[in-house]
Amino acid sequence: MFCSPISAVMVLRKQVPDKNTPLQRWRGGFFVIVIVSLLLVLLFHFPYQSIDALFGGKGIQLIQKANTFGSSTLNLQNQSDPSQVSRPNRDKSVTEKDKDDGFKDYDIKGSNFTSDEGNAGVDEADVEESIEDDGVSGGGDDHKECDLYNGRWVRDQTMPLYPPGSCPYIDKDFDCHFHGRPDDDYLRWRWKPNDCDLPSFNATDFLERLRGQRIVFVGDSLNRNMWESMVCMLRNSVGNKKKVYEITGKKEFKKKGFYSFRYEDYNCTVDFVATTFLVKESPMETKNGTMDTLRLDLMDDITAPMYQDADIIVFNTGHWWTHEKTSKGENYYREGNYVYPKLEVDDAFKRALTTWASWIDNNIDTTKTQVFFRSYSHTHFRGGQWNSGGKCHDETKPIFEDSYLQPYPTKMTILEQVIDQMKNTHVMFMNISKLTDYRKDAHPSIYRKHYNTEAEKLYAVKSQDCSHWCLPGVPDAWNELLYASLLRRGKGSWRKQSSL
């Protein structure tokens, strides 16, 4: 009889006398309630497009009006697919922004992140100091990148991230507090990118995301510096410290080998694999006896299996490439059975990294493992080098003027080129070179051992450590940057909202 509900409404209205009596007003209100109820029933049981056709092309308008009627609301969650309609979310604290995973698209080199949302990232309820101003614009193609490694050190009295003297796993060589460094200003600095803020390091969140996994730091003693920093930063958040331990009971970590700290409550480990060059150091028999060589064409086959199946790997190499034997390059570098009589160190460095890159491309499961490479950490020897009386013990403040910084290391340019040419693996490059160059004040210098006599103290001034870093200290910032990078580019658990 009726061609549509709209026609039915029009016919019924013609049959009702046009008198504004209480009875008519009651009937009119009842009639509206019936029609709205019918709309809601149809809405929940038929596709959006079918409703629109049923009401002669005016279904969309009726739905919009129904949305504003009474206290009931409809949550049209997927605007791109109008057929996907769900019931309203009763938890008003959960918004569409909360449902978004909130993670940025990280630049391909791992140095920048971009976003089309202004305040996405770590859940503000989970991380105290989320990214308040990402330095990114909202929507459209007008994206602005934030380089995490282009910034400055700012004073922060809330630093450090764990109290000096609180972590028993810091090598004595790095424990400046234990060895009586008289000032603590070097602890009160925080790295601040120029165009954004780093999320506050949330150790509990890090451990929760690392649950059931392994993170491995691979490289020389500067990566051991970073590893010990991470061990202490995470341990500080654990209530029962007895549930954090090195799995073999080791207390010293300076020898070449494998070390692993287990966080029992999270079934995860934070490991370190000591391998100075990443490629293989190999003695070679000659007619004049045994000579040490560095195989530029082979990975270190002893250490590589120790980290191959890790979930996160942080590599470094660099400092030992500046030492006398590697710098001279005479009868030291080897490929196959051929020992180069002379090879420039930069050429050797590139060959070794190319071997590393090829091994990573062919042996790492990129669906599981996330790979980082940390750049060269600057030294600050003044008046000599590490073995010729270089000093830094009088330095108590960072460098503030860029004009006093050192040139960007040539080897790091080579490293970036090698990473760019990798075929199968996305490697996130942690370019911490500049941020370390500012910090001439934060090395162990003479505060790396106890001195029993004045003669020992005087000798210590001639033999200082201006390469490594005090802990707590600068490597903590490297781990803050690692955390931020994982939140923005990470896989698996690192793509999820925090559950804390």
Beta carbons of 442 and 470 less than 8 angstroms apart: yes
Active site residue 468: yes
Task: Estimate the crossing angle of helix 22-45 against helix 59-68, to 10 degrees.
Answer: 110
Identified catalytic residue from 441, 468, 476, 485: 468
- How far apart, in whole angstroms, are the C-alpha atoms of residue 185 and residue 422? 42
Give the active site residue among 130, 221, 377, 485: 221
Do β-strands 312-315 and 112-114 pair in parallel, antiparallel, or remain unpaired? unpaired
CB neighbours (10 Å) of residue 142? Answer: 9
Query: Could you say which of 377, 465, 476, 485 is catalytic?
Result: 465
Q: Given the structure tokens 């290391």, which residue do they identify?
A: 409
How far, in Å, CA of 221 to CA of 205, rounded?
A: 27
Reduced to 3 states (helix: H, G, I; strand: E, B; else coil), residue 187 is: helix
Rg (CA), the chain: 31
465 catalytically annotated: yes
Q: How many CB atoms within 10 Å of residue 391?
A: 18
Residues sharing a CB contact under 8 Å with residue 190, sequence separation 6 or more, in sequence order: 153, 154, 155, 156, 159, 477
Pairing of strands 189-193, 338-339: unpaired
Cβ–Cβ < 8 Å for 373, 430: yes
* Sheet with 370-374, edge to edge strand ranges: 244-246, 258-263, 268-274, 214-219, 312-315, 370-374, 427-430
Q: Which residues are catalytic?
A: 221, 465, 468
